[in-house]
Amino acid sequence: MEASSTADEQTALLGEDRPCRHREERQERAGGSDEQVTKDNRLSTTCRIAAAYYSFVVVGAWDGSYGSLVVYLRESYSLSYFSVSFALLAPVVGYTISAFLTSTIHNRLGYRGIALIASGCHCIAAFSAGQNPPYPLLVVIFMLAGLGNGIADASWNSWIGSMPRGNGLMGLLHGFYGIGAACSPSLAAVLLEHAGLKWTMFYRLLGIVSLLELFVVSMAFWGADSKAAKSGAGGQHASIFQAFGYPSTWIISVFVFLYAAIEISLADWISSYLIDVRGFDRPTGNSLTAGYWIGLTLGRVVVGFLASRVNWGKATVMGCSILCYSACFFFALVSDTGLCAIGIAMIGFFLGPLFPEAVVMQARLLPKQTQLAAIGFAVAFGSAGGSVGPFLVGIAADQRGIVVLQWFVLGMLGGCVLGENRRKKEGTTTAWAASRSRT
Query: Contact at 8 Å (CB) between 252 and 431?
Result: yes
Q: What is the pTM of this model?
A: 0.71
CA atoms within 13 A on the CB side of 63: 36
pLDDT reading at 258 higher than 60 = yes
In-domain check, residue 209 = yes
Query: Cα separation of 178 and 352, whole Å?
Result: 9
The range of the structural domain enclosing residue 201 comes to 37-227+235-438
Measured CA distances, 378 to 27, 48, 164, 354, 397 (Å): 39, 23, 21, 13, 28
In-domain check, residue 339 = yes
Residue 151 confidence class, pLDDT cut points 50, 70, 90: very high
Q: What is the CATH number of the domain that holds 65?
A: 1.20.1250.20
Residue 126: phi and psi, rounded to 5, are -65, -50
The number of angstroms, rounded, from the C-alpha of 103 to the middle of its chain's C-alpha atoms is: 18
pLDDT digits (tens, 9 = 90+) for 218-231: 999 988 766 555 55
Q: Is 334 helix (H, G, I), strand (E, B) or coil?
A: coil
Instruction: Using alpha carbons, select from 301, 409, 298 the residue that is nearest to residue 348.
Output: 298
In-domain check, residue 109 = yes
In-domain check, residue 155 = yes
Query: Contact at 8 Å (CB) between 234 and 368?
Result: yes
Q: Which residues contact 265 (CB under 8 A, 6 or more apart)?
A: 386, 389, 390, 393, 405, 408, 409, 412
In-domain check, residue 307 = yes
| First-to-final CA distance of the chain | 13
Query: Cα separation of 273 and 279, whole Å?
Result: 9
Query: Contact at 8 Å (CB) between 60 and 181?
Result: yes
Span 382-404, average pLDDT: 83
Q: For the chain, what is the domain count?
A: 1
In-domain check, residue 6 = no
In-domain check, residue 19 = no
In-domain check, residue 7 = no
pLDDT of residue 30: 40
How wide is the angle at C-alpha 202 spanned by C-alphas 299 and 65, nearest 5°?
35
pLDDT digits (tens, 9 = 90+) for 104-141: 888 888 889 999 999 999 999 999 999 999 999 999 99
Query: Contact at 8 Å (CB) between 121 and 206?
Result: no
pLDDT reading at 73 higher than 80 = yes
